[in-house]
Structure 1
Amino acid sequence: MIIRRLEDKIKQTLQRIPSVALMGPRQIGKTTLALNISEGIPSVYLDLENSLDLERVADINTFHEQNSDKLIILDEVQRKPEMFTSLRGIIDTERRKGKKSGHFLFLGSASIDLLQQSSESLAGRIAYIELNGIDALEYSGALNTLWLRGGFPESLLSSNDKNSLDWRRDFIRTYLERDIPQLGPRIPAHSLERFWTMLAHSQGGVVNSSQLARSLEVSATTVNRYLDLMVDLLLVRRLQPWTFNIGKRLVRSPKIYIRDSGITHALLNIVAYNDLLSHPVVGGSWEGFVIENLLSVLPANALPYYYGTPGGAEIDLVLEFSGNEKWAIEIKRSSSPALSKGFHIACDDIKADRRFVVYAGDHRFTMRENIVAIPIQELMQELLNRH
């Protein structure tokens, strides 16, 4: 079993906050992580997709009275959003008794933004934490295996590439045929699968709703609805452009990434590493893989963007920290990275404080103009050190 970095953070947060919401897509490892935590403290676990467990919390006040001495873990909490109204009173009552922390651990498969809309009544009483896939610091195996198979534990730890791909195909099918109809609006599975596959083909591209709409023979509004749903379910990332006024025309549409590289490859029927290296998506796939790994360790005081101009000045990832400190990060699959003139111009445009190129090599070295070529794991560690 792979130890997840967030386990200690969740434990520490539960020691100071009444409730924690752990969010992430299905099968990412939330339940395993929660059950690991429950082994160290008195706990009760309920899965709200189980009809019996759902009935047990129909009266959450009574259930809490019977288990007030335990951490109550509620899985798939988005299935019963109305519960949050009652939880505020429960938490405040416990606070008055002197029990100020560690009451509830919620697990959910929708985005933090979506859950916050349901749990506004718990403001000041809840912390939100997102669980990403297994990343390059958590996985001790070959980085290329992690890139090919993605960060879902069952996929990554499969006995061979074929079994891994079969798991991911089943995951996609289950999401399309069961999970999305439960969690979102009724959308034909074949339409959403075509849309998902189109996003995979253009991994890391600037979204063009009109072009996607023509290909799918639907309206641009429908395409945006599909995209919003995939973002809410934590399957797709919408990376916003850095658009602060610098006196230049800028690209202002977001870039779109399927968040798990293994899902990208399954949608494109990429079975093995050599297949990936010869596929047109290889560059976009590596870029998305690196971005997801870096954002998995992003400090709370930093925001991610990309930067681009119609003239070709571009930065794959801009990290803006509090105090207006900016890091410019270029992503190259080559083991001998070469940077374009557009990257240098873009760094000057945004006045980048630090400049990096994440590449496929194993050693850190300094290029001209103080640009640091760095392996992905080392840059992730630098970000962790800023926490």
Structure 2
Amino acid sequence: MVTRFLEQRIRAKLFKGKAILLIGPRQTGKTTLLNTIFKNESQTLWLNGDDPETRLLLEDVSVTKWKRILGENKVLILDEAQRISDIGLKLKLITDQIPEIQVVASGSSAFELANQIKEPLTGRKWEFQLFPISFAEMEAHHGFVEEHKRLSERLIYGYYPEVVNHPGEERDVLSQLADSFLFKDILMWERIKKPEKLTRLLQALAFQVGSEVSYHELGQIIDLDNQTVENYITLLEQTFIIFRLPPLSRNLRKELKRKRKIYFYDNGMRNAIIAQFQPLELRQDVGALWENWLISERKKTLHYQGIHANTFFWRTQDQQEIDYIEERDGKMWAYEMKWSAKAKPSFSKTFTQAYPEHELQFINRDNYFEWLGQ
């Protein structure tokens, strides 16, 4: 079993008077991780928000009722916590009134968890996000040489645990994952009236990975108004299918300000949405796959290492651009990403003059591991 980097970070926060919140896409191993952490803790109560009886049990809960439910247990784990109404207030009740209990809530829908938990638990929680398995976790599992050999297939099939654990069956596993859970959280939300539009939107986004996205242009493609497109993209982001990268715009009149880039948390899911699993040598989108993979992997690295950074892309109206930028402690790191190690890097003088506190780096398949390693 692949050891997840979050395991030690979560262990370090246990029994310190705060709730643990673990969120992330479905099927990334949240339950498996919690089982690993608490396997030797016999006094653990597991409740699942997908269970109607659990939701009914917790519908109207007081401190007295919580104590009866908890019994002699020292740990409460609430899986799929977003399904439980007013979950934030209910967890706050335990954290404030029964502080000896370690509360852990996990979920795959940030849009409900964020609204229901973050405000009531302000100052009372540690929040972690579990992604699909990372390059660095796989390198730690079976070594750099083995994982580097598999780089091309990772760009195509990604890192969902079920995919990694079933070599040779990647297409079938990804197709089933996409069909069975991709929209499960979103379609439970009653305002989604046209799931076929959502599918077409995701397909359009998959074909535009690495390019600036216009809500207006997307709306024209799938016949939806701009506001609905933006609402759907927000939901897709809050259920950990995609994430947005904003433009850096501070100093120059010609810098792009409104458009965004949108990436997928996992290359395999992106390719499953458009049913394209052909090998790299037969593809026209290798550059987009490489960029999506690098930026999604970097997102994992930043989170797992606890590095706080603002992230952007940069482009001007006259087509000068930089793929990816991190801002940390008042300094900027600018990155250009090319699949070919033979490509010659170039950085815009306009950018370097406008943002003098910077470092420049060229990421290719000969040095990517230095950027993503743990």
* Alignment match of 1:147 (pick from 155, 179, 182): 155
Cα distance per residue 1:114-137 (max 9 Å; x no partner): 523212111111111111111110
Contact 1:17 1:127 in 2 (8 A): no
The corresponding residue for 1:123 is 122
Q: Structure 1 residue 240 and structure 2 residue 232: aligned?
A: no
Q: How do residues 87-236 of structure 1 correspond to structure 2 at under 5 angstroms?
A: 87-95=91-99, 99=100, 103-111=102-110, 115-119=113-117, 120-140=119-139, 141=147, 142-160=150-168, 163-175=169-181, 178-183=184-189, 185-236=191-242
Which secondary structure state, in structure 2, belongs to the residue aligned with residue 72 of structure 1? Answer: strand
Cα drift, residue 341 of structure 1: 4.9
Cross-structure match for 1:44: 45
- Check 1:220–1:10 CA distance in 2 against 1; reply closer, same or farther (3 A cut): same
* CA pair 17-143 structure 1, distance change in 2 beyond 3 A: farther
CA distance in 1, matches of 2:191, 2:35: 31
Q: Equivalents in 1 of 2:184, 2:87: separation in Å?
A: 23
**Aligned residue type for 2:44:** S
- How many Å separate the matches in 2 of 1:208 and 1:154? 34
SS at match of 1:9: helix
- Equivalents in 1 of 2:38, 2:194: separation in Å? 39
C-alpha contact (below 8 Å) 2:322/2:347 kept by paired residues? no
**Which of 303, 316, 320 is equivalent to 2:310?**
303
Note if 1:255 corresponds to 2:261.
Answer: yes
- Partner-residue secondary structure (3-state), 2:137: coil
Cα distance change of structure 1 residues 199 and 326 upon mapping to structure 2, 3 Å threshold: same
| 1:22 Cα offset (Å) | 0.6
Separation of aligned partners in 1, 2:17 and 2:283: 47
Would you say how many aligned residue pairs link Structure 1 and Structure 2?
A: 356
Q: In the alignment, which residue of structure 2 is the partner of 1:371?
A: none
1:169, distance to aligned residue in structure 2 (A): 1.6
Q: Matched residue of 1:338: which SS?
A: coil
Find the counterpart in structure 1 of residue 142 from structure 2: none
2:153, 2:295 → 1: CA distance?
17
Shift of 1:159: 2.7
Instruction: Give 1:64 shift.
Output: 4.2
Displacement of 1:203: 0.7
Q: Pick which of 12-21 and 249-258 moved more.
A: 12-21
Question: SS at the partner of 1:266?
Answer: helix
What's the C-alpha RMSD, in Å, of the aligned pairs?
A: 2.1
Q: What corresponds to 1:11 in structure 2?
A: 11
Q: Check conservation: 1:73, 1:104, Cα contact below 8 A.
A: yes
| Alpha-carbon spacing, 1:177–1:325, altered in 2? closer, same or farther (3 Å) | closer
State the shift of 1:18 in Å.
1.8
Say if 2:24 is the partner of 1:24: yes
Name the SS for the 2:35 alignment partner. helix
1:57 Cα deviation (Å)? 3.3
Return closer, same or farther for 1:85/1:288 CA change in 2, 3 Å cut-off: same
1:294 and 1:337 map into 2 onto residues whose CA distance is 21
- How far has the Cα of 1:164 moved from its partner? 1.3
| 1:7 to partner: Cα distance | 0.8
CA drift of 1:264 comes to: 1.2
* Residues 44-63 of structure 1 mapped to structure 2, 5 A cutoff: 44-60=45-61, 61=63, 62-63=65-66
Shift in alpha-carbon separation, 1:339–1:130, aligned structure 2, 3 A: same
Q: Using the alignment, how far apart are the partners of 1:57 and 1:37 within structure 2?
A: 25
Distance in 1 between residues matched to 2:261 and 2:243, nearest whole Å: 8
* Residue identity (%): 24
Kindly indicate whether the alpha-carbon contact (under 8 Å) linking 2:340 and 2:364 is maintained by their aligned counterparts in 1.
Answer: yes
Q: Is the 8 A contact 2:48 2:80 kept in 1?
A: yes
Question: Are the counterparts in 2 of residues 23 and 129 from structure 1 also a CA contact under 8 Å?
Answer: yes
* Counterpart-to-counterpart distance in 1, 2:3 and 2:160: 13
Aligned CA distance change for structure 1 residues 93 and 133 (closer, same or farther; 3 Å): same
In 1, distance between residues paired with 2:152 and 2:45?
39
Distance of 1:228 and 1:307 partners within structure 2? 22
Paired letter, 2:178: I
Question: What displacement does 1:307 show?
Answer: 1.1
Instruction: Give the residue type in structure 2 aligned to 1:303.
Output: N
CA distance in 2, matches of 1:303, 1:93: 37
Q: Residue 376 of structure 1 aligns to which amino acid in structure 2? A: Y
Structure 1, residues 20-61: CA drift from partner, whole Å, max 9, x if none?
111101111111111111113232222210223334434544
Contact 1:147 1:286 in 2 (8 A): yes
Give the gaps of 5 or more residues in structure 2. 140-146
User: What residue number does 1:316 align with?
Assistant: 323
Deviation (angstroms), 1:284: 1.2
